[in-house]
């Protein structure tokens, strides 16, 4: 027999309906035998089916394929770089930048023809200045890469778990745009940069000649502005796409492109200020 619970310490007899003490075995009114209810067991919920983790991304492209991918399938190439970063390709890009720097300085030196009483001394000074500029430029190549990578790593995090290595890899590979345009720039410099005939016998005339030559070099820099901005847009697109995938899609492509464009614009302004001053 099953009986109902009336109050906190009493039950109702199922035979006569009288109130009986809790846990009583017999009804005090009718003497009916009472059966105690077994406590209900907690319902066991079935365990949810285990959700299999998505398979980890496997690198698809080698270094050479990544370089070619920048031109023919940039989104896939930068996705591969962002998800499987490495420094080998980055150092190839940085080495090419240094090689172009040295080539540019060599071309400029070949355009200098110094004559006059102090020609040897002046050429020695010019060689020393350009040598220091090359060393400073080499250090600047690596410093710019590291600083920009650190900024991209922090700014473009978006709550993901991407690493500095991924940000540095994306940033370094994005410089491939500068390599392509830089090669064209070196060729144009060799073809169109005028030869400087500098007679140092008269220092005042030499100073005026240098000023004229500097204005010609500035004119070439202004003519290169459209190509420079095109390079900036290309580099920003590559960096933004790589950042989007490297940050596990928690940072949008548009935001990544904006970050790279802003940083590149700052570098561009610094370069032009140094040229015109």
pLDDT at 82: 93
Integer Cα distance of 111 and 188 in angstroms? 13
Q: Give the SS3 label for residue 5.
A: strand
Integer Cα distance of 103 and 224 in angstroms? 18
Q: Give the SS3 label for residue 82.
A: helix
pLDDT at 42: 52
* Distances 149 to 70, 100, 110, 121, 277 between C-alpha atoms, Å: 19, 22, 35, 42, 28
pLDDT at 8: 43
Asked if 253 contacts 192 with a C-beta cutoff of 8 angstroms, the reply is no
pLDDT at 214: 75
Integer Cα distance of 268 and 225 in angstroms? 10
pLDDT at 205: 79
Asked if 193 contacts 107 with a C-beta cutoff of 8 angstroms, the reply is yes
Question: What is the chain's Cα-based Rg?
Answer: 38
pLDDT along the chain (277 residues), means of 10: 44 73 71 56 53 70 92 93 94 93 86 80 84 91 94 85 92 92 82 78 78 74 78 93 92 93 86 60
Asked if 197 contacts 115 with a C-beta cutoff of 8 angstroms, the reply is yes
pLDDT at 89: 94
Tokens of 250: 């928690």
Tokens of 90: 């980055």
* Distances 204 to 117, 123, 201 between C-alpha atoms, Å: 14, 17, 9
pLDDT at 41: 44
Asked if 171 contacts 264 with a C-beta cutoff of 8 angstroms, the reply is no
């Amino acid at each position: 027999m099953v009986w109902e619970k009336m109050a906190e310490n009493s039950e109702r007899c199922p035979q006569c309906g009288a109130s009986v003490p809790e846990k009583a075995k017999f009804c005090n009114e009718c003497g009916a035998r009472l059966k105690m209810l077994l406590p209900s067991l907690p319902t066991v919920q079935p365990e949810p089916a285990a959700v299999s983790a998505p398979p980890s991304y496997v690198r698809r492209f080698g270094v050479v394929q990544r370089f070619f991918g920048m031109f023919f399938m940039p989104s896939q190439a930068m996705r591969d770089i962002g998800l499987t970063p490495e420094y080998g390709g980055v150092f190839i890009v940085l080495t090419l930048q240094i090689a172009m720097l040295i080539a540019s300085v060599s071309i400029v030196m070949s355009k200098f023809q110094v004559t006059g009483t102090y020609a040897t001394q002046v050429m020695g000074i010019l060689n020393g200045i350009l040598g220091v500029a090359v060393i400073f430029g080499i250090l600047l190549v690596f410093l710019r890469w590291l600083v920009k990578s650190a900024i991209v790593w922090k700014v473009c995090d978006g709550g993901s778990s991407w690493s500095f290595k991924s940000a540095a890899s994306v940033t370094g590979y994005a410089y491939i745009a500068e390599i392509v345009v830089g090669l064209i720039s070196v060729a144009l410099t060799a073809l169109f940069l005028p030869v400087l005939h500098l007679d140092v016998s008269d220092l005042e005339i030499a100073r005026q000649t240098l000023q004229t030559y500097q204005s010609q070099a500035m004119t070439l820099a202004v003519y290169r502005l459209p190509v420079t901005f095109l390079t900036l847009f290309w580099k920003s697109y590559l960096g933004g796409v790589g950042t989007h995938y490297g940050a596990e899609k928690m940072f949008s492509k548009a935001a990544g492109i904006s970050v790279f464009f802003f940083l590149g614009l700052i570098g561009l302004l610094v370069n032009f200020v140094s040229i015109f001053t």
